Structure 1
């Protein structure tokens, strides 16, 4: 038997979630909807599938490959998008087996497919449909000699009720979410986290009765206690964060201090800023999608920025003290410079010390009379040890080009590429610094947009108390593995 998976939805009904990916690749509990489908097929004993794809076809093929991860063989056929399933079968007849298990790979099934196949085996006829209770038909066993019959699997945001041509079996305990809207997608994630979708293979380990944590994620044991929480892989959740109701956090997400999430879904590569409160929403990058109203807005709008007058005054008073502290730290760091030289020679003998240009805190006027941050040249030891690599930046603190605490310094090229929208330019309210929340909290491989969001939150909420805390946190970080080991 062969599986035929329809994953060719255009996804207009899910916008803005589908403006960067297709419906089949949207994550549920840290894995794409289509991955859950393939796992269910593998559990039912199928080893070969044909996948019908349309939008983001290259991205989908890159994500799934040849199916070896699921011990399956995957073949792909390209459609025009939301095409008639019977027409798809007609066009790729030579690739299909006589007996097919047809289903959509861009909806979430909570059914044991082997149970459907067992029940369908007891029903005669060329086509047998399957469904969950009170749900549209979502499965189809297409036997040799059958022609047509796949019309119920054609995608429509509002399924058309029609009397089925062939027998229908109801799969006991099955569940279905068609993901026909952002609200439905939000509900699918929360239901899956709460165990209301039987048969899903949940990644990670259950470290507490209501807390599941994925690989390489840092979640304090004193962390989420108030709700049912799923945390994906490579995440960092501060101990003071609070979770209520049902919360799903995808992969590579940072949740900062005192953030509050309630009945919400956070998609991959997001940053939840300090003291940010999110209720009944989906977070995708910088977008907050309110599922009850459908409103989409920038997350930066969810808090009040610091007064500009207070910020400017604090910056003027802090600058000379920063330079004095930078000189003291430079003197204290002198024993590390020979070690940095040796480490750089071991890894890059021909080029141990390299120049790099960064935007600093000194201002200049360009040829059009526009004030901008002046770029300066600093050095960098060519070693993979983070602490040693950035030792020369202490010279930039002494010169006043960098502050001790501030936003992550960017190269001029990074600033041009990543600060195009109004919210992105808010990061310039904060001085560039040697350390700060982005440098201390986020992993080195975090996406540029996530790092920029962290800097924006810091710029809008910073103050003397926060800077002192980051200084103390930076001092403590000197004695952690992260300061001395790559990655």
Structure 2
């Protein structure tokens, strides 16, 4: 059986946490939300999975890969953020007679897919509405559900009485089958607020989510009923003395003088300094907590402090309080070949600079150069390019960013705000940098994502091909303007 898993939420309800994680990658007790869904699929005997993702595909693909860890065959399908399911299904070219599971992969459920599949097979002519913990479980089965896929659009509706009446009315009007409600056993978290995200973590740490367990080895604490789940290569004090419970991820270090109370979830690669106090809190991956800090009923994400109950969020610029915990990266990530090519082109640009300056002065009514800025590793660089129509030539002055190891020669554009990419993915030349006409921001993100997903060799061929097509587009546009005049 094949499953189509939708992981294309934008997570705006979780702002500003969505600047760091898409909902499918949110850690729940040190496992991403999508991992719980994939585990459930594997237990249900599903083998083929198509993940419908939006531009966070790189991060999801880095975690999931081809699905080998779960014994699955995973493919990826790119969509717009929160695009209607009814618009995506036709593009998947599915067999209309095949039984296909549709499920949301960006919410947390108790394992229930196997029960849903077994029931749906018995009611193959009926549209089965799955309810879990008195909520929409985000599950449906094709082909019976083909006329009702809007029930899977985000945000999921929980007004079942009203929606069931609407569904029944549709069925009466279309003379198609009937509808059946299946009540599943377990827990369900939509993760549509910071408060619910914290509740999901706490419930998982307490082993209250039916059928699901946290990741790591178990270690008892001073609390008789609960303890900690510890990841590998993690150092802590005497947890048996802590009146707390929770989960601590891989490669984290917690000073032995840290006092922990009640629910404490610490992610991977975290550093908690001496004399800190942690109570009912979540410390997400790669976070540093400075000495003597009191964290209560809060979420720390790198340099952000969030209080779910009030919805407040503070970004701190003092690295001695909270900060991102990471090693300083070197400039060696840019290949020597890239730097040599950039140096050659840069020297060529210097030789041509008098002619380029003259062309830009005579061809522009505004300025002979265009100033741009790029943020890399929390540092802003100012750079400029020639005001010329040939975009490859106009960016020659920016090659110094490649020579100094800040950018790759080819890659995604670093000149857009609110990027969620690692600097190793940035390049000076890419599909947007060679685009002579403007497109909507959503279209830009899709263009870049498709580019980065293609094989490395084909990327360069694609850039050359697109450069010619863009040049042809510009010639046609200029010709049409002259014709109008």
- Shorter-chain TM-score range: 0.5 to 0.7
Q: Quick check: 2:254–2:271 contact (8 Å CA) kept in 1?
A: yes
Query: Is 1:58 the equivalent of 2:71?
Result: no
- The alpha-carbon deviation at position 90 of structure 1 amounts to 1.6
Aligned to 1:289: 306
* Inter-partner Cα distance in structure 2 for 1:39 and 1:270: 27
Q: Quick check: 1:22–1:55 contact (8 Å CA) kept in 2?
A: no
The within-5 A match list for 1:155-170 is 155-156=154-155, 159=158, 161=160, 162-164=162-164, 165=167, 166-170=179-183
* Inter-partner Cα distance in structure 2 for 1:119 and 1:95: 21
Match of 1:252 among 250, 269, 276: 269
1:380-435 superposed Cα distances (whole Å, 9 cap, x missing partner)? xxxxxxxxxxxxxxxxxxxxxxxxxxxxxxxxxxxx95577xxxxxxxxxxxxxxx
Note the residue ranges of structure 1 that are not aligned, 5 or more in a row. 305-415, 421-447, 449-487
Shift in CA distance, 61/196, structure 1 to aligned 2, threshold 3 Å: same
Aligned to 2:315: 298
SS in 1 for 2:18: coil
Aligned to 1:36: 36
Aligned to 2:131: 131
Shift in CA distance, 97/53, structure 1 to aligned 2, threshold 3 Å: farther
SS in 2 for 1:3: strand
Q: Quick check: 1:111–1:171 contact (8 Å CA) kept in 2?
A: no
* Inter-partner Cα distance in structure 1 for 2:102 and 2:181: 14
Query: Is 1:202 the equivalent of 2:219?
Result: no
* Inter-partner Cα distance in structure 2 for 1:150 and 1:66: 26
SS in 2 for 1:289: strand
* Inter-partner Cα distance in structure 2 for 1:224 and 1:130: 44
- The alpha-carbon deviation at position 176 of structure 1 amounts to 0.7
* Inter-partner Cα distance in structure 1 for 2:183 and 2:214: 25
The within-5 A match list for 1:229-378 is 229-299=246-316
Aligned to 1:149: 148
Note the residue ranges of structure 2 that are not aligned, 5 or more in a row. 168-178, 221-225, 322-375, 381-421, 423-485
* Inter-partner Cα distance in structure 1 for 2:320 and 2:73: 49
- The alpha-carbon deviation at position 246 of structure 1 amounts to 1.1
* Inter-partner Cα distance in structure 2 for 1:75 and 1:280: 39
Query: Is 1:225 the equivalent of 2:242?
Result: yes
* Inter-partner Cα distance in structure 1 for 2:228 and 2:116: 31
1:219-259 superposed Cα distances (whole Å, 9 cap, x missing partner)? 23346621222101111111221221211111111112121
Aligned to 1:456: none
Task: Give the paired residue count.
Answer: 310
SS in 1 for 2:136: coil
SS in 2 for 1:243: strand
* Inter-partner Cα distance in structure 1 for 2:313 and 2:273: 22
* Inter-partner Cα distance in structure 2 for 1:274 and 1:96: 60
* Inter-partner Cα distance in structure 2 for 1:132 and 1:248: 26
Aligned to 1:216: 233
* Inter-partner Cα distance in structure 2 for 1:64 and 1:26: 14
Match of 1:185 among 175, 194, 197: 197
Q: Quick check: 2:237–2:254 contact (8 Å CA) kept in 1?
A: yes
SS in 2 for 1:18: helix
Q: Quick check: 1:103–1:139 contact (8 Å CA) kept in 2?
A: yes
1:297-327 superposed Cα distances (whole Å, 9 cap, x missing partner)? 13567999xxxxxxxxxxxxxxxxxxxxxxx
Shift in CA distance, 417/98, structure 1 to aligned 2, threshold 3 Å: closer
Shift in CA distance, 75/126, structure 1 to aligned 2, threshold 3 Å: farther
Q: Quick check: 1:211–1:224 contact (8 Å CA) kept in 2?
A: no
Scaled by the length of structure 2, what TM-score is found?
Answer: 0.59
- The alpha-carbon deviation at position 210 of structure 1 amounts to 1.0
SS in 2 for 1:35: helix
- The alpha-carbon deviation at position 127 of structure 1 amounts to 2.7
* Inter-partner Cα distance in structure 2 for 1:96 and 1:2: 13
* Inter-partner Cα distance in structure 2 for 1:223 and 1:277: 21
- The alpha-carbon deviation at position 157 of structure 1 amounts to 6.8
* Inter-partner Cα distance in structure 2 for 1:299 and 1:207: 33
- The alpha-carbon deviation at position 35 of structure 1 amounts to 1.2
Q: Quick check: 2:22–2:56 contact (8 Å CA) kept in 1?
A: yes
Q: Quick check: 2:99–2:141 contact (8 Å CA) kept in 1?
A: yes
* Inter-partner Cα distance in structure 1 for 2:263 and 2:292: 19
Q: Quick check: 1:287–1:298 contact (8 Å CA) kept in 2?
A: yes
* Inter-partner Cα distance in structure 1 for 2:320 and 2:310: 19
